[in-house]
Amino acid sequence: MTIAFISDIHGNFEALKAVLAEIDRMRVSEIVCVGDVVGYYSQVNECCEELRRRGVQSVLGNHDWYLGYGGYCTRSKSVNECLAYQRKVITSDNLDWLKTFRVHMQVGNAQIVHGGWEDPIDEYLRAPTAEYFERLQGQVFVSGHTHVQSLHRFGERTYCNPGSVGQPRDGDPRAAFATFDGKTFALHRVEYNMQRVFDLMEAAGFNDYYYGGLKTGANRLRRLEE
């Protein structure tokens, strides 16, 4: 059975629709979310409701935690400004759904967290190593959080970051996801209607600063100290 892994959707429903359409075209029936359904962009309800409709399970991402449990980001003003908007618009049903997310999940032989195995919600595995995974039990590992799509093999162990659906940060603006057939991962990218995201963000009161990075797949965040 093939599984599609999606991650870091961040309220970008246009990107999510394009990814799900491609997954449907590939006839992949099981989808697992690696966290951060919400955050950044304006269509948090649409993203939650589509995944709920499909019965997609998700692990808890840091943005899911911020919104679901009333937390804030210690790193970025931009994140907190977007969260303030999302708190005003998210429905109670979708907020309750975020609170059902588990910190860790196992699907088949794949171990799944949002961040890393030292901090499942907020660890950045930017440069995974064989030594890191030698300390863990299992052979297949999946996490997101960095928004950088990658695939690494360390002997008998495999690590995959499916990349970000809604906010890629690896220089490729196309929405990212991965598929896994129980033995082998494949990495995928799809184009989507970015202008629709820009228009909706502008209508919600946000300017190009908050969404301009989508155009190039770059990271544009304002630090708290700025």
Mean pLDDT, the chain, rounded, equals 95
Burial (CB count <10 Å: 0-12, 13-18, 19+), residue 2: middle
The predicted-structure confidence for 69-110, as pLDDT tens digits, reads as follows 999 999 899 999 999 999 999 999 999 999 999 999 999 999
Under 8 Å between Cβ of 34 and 58: yes
| In-domain check, residue 223 | no
In a domain, 220, yes or no: no
How far, in Å, CA of 166 to CA of 13, rounded?
8
> What average pLDDT does this structure show over 205-215?
94
- Tell me the percentage of the chain whose pLDDT exceeds 90: 94
Count up the domains in the chain and report the number.
Answer: 1
CB 7 within 8 A of CB 163: yes
Which residues make beta-bridge pairs with 142?
112, 160
On whether residue 180 sits in a domain, the answer given is yes
| pTM of the full structure | 0.96
pLDDT > 70 in the chain, percent:
96
Kindly state the average pLDDT of the residues 159-175.
Answer: 97
**pLDDT score, position 46:** 98
The answer on pLDDT for 221 being more than 60 is no
Residues 6+ apart with CB under 8 A from 204: 42, 85
- Residue 88 covered by a domain: yes
Which CATH number belongs to the domain containing residue 88 in this structure?
Answer: 3.60.21.10
Quick check: helix, strand or coil at residue 26? coil
> Tell me: the pLDDT tens digits for 42-63?
999 999 999 999 999 999 999 9
Binned at pLDDT 50, 70 and 90, residue 218 comes out as confident
What confidence tier does 220 reach under pLDDT thresholds 50, 70, 90? Answer: low
* Residues 99-117 pLDDT 10s: 999 999 999 999 999 999 9
- d(CA 67, CA 62) in angstroms, rounded, equals 9
Whether residue 204 has pLDDT greater than 80: yes
Q: Residue 144 is part of which domain span?
A: 3-213
pLDDT value for 226: 28
Alpha-helix residue ranges (DSSP H) falling in the chain = 13-25, 44-54, 62-69, 77-89, 92-98, 130-134, 194-203, 208-211
What is the tens place of the pLDDT at every residue in 188-199? Answer: 999 999 999 999
Say if 218 falls within a structural domain: no
Q: Considering only residues 224 and 146, tell me which one the structure prediction assigns the higher pLDDT.
A: 146
